[in-house]
Structure 1
């Protein structure tokens, strides 16, 4: 897929989404519920993606605290 085709596809999806948003106040309750579910799903996926990336960055950037454990040797009984 060429870059121009991709840009045109994104533009057409944006236009369709804008038309749906503009018609939302006159939409039926079923359409409102469906749109709300789609928005909630998208927000959840983005939130989980941000959470996964932040956890990964913390592991990469911060030193591992488990490597600093002090090993305790058993004491010999007298």
Structure 2
């Protein structure tokens, strides 16, 4: 029952977004600017998530660089 309610809610949000997009050409400049800011913000978040996921997944594709190692020997006491 909860899944159908969730799908119905997503559908209603999509309908409201479509209605907002259809009314955008007649909207005031402030509304157009606010909508543009929201679109740019959402796009930036999605882009950063894709970059982060890509970096984390591809980190294992490249061999790790290791620093120079020095051998440690036993200490001699005087």
Aligned-residue offset at 1:49 = 0.3
4+ runs deviating over 6 angstroms: none
Instruction: Return the TM-score normalized by structure 2.
Output: 0.80
1:37 aligns with 2:56: no
Aligned pair 1:16/2:5, yes or no? no
- Give the drift of 1:19: 0.1
Structure with bigger gyration radius: 2
Alignment partners' CA distance in 2, 1:51 and 1:35: 24
Aligned residues: 71
Query: Structure 1 residue 53 and structure 2 residue 53: aligned?
Result: yes
Greater helix share, structure number: 1
Q: Give the alignment's TM-score, normalised by structure 1.
A: 0.80
Which sections of structure 1, spanning at least 5 residues, go unmatched? Answer: 74-78
> Any stretches of 5+ residues in structure 2 without a counterpart?
72-78
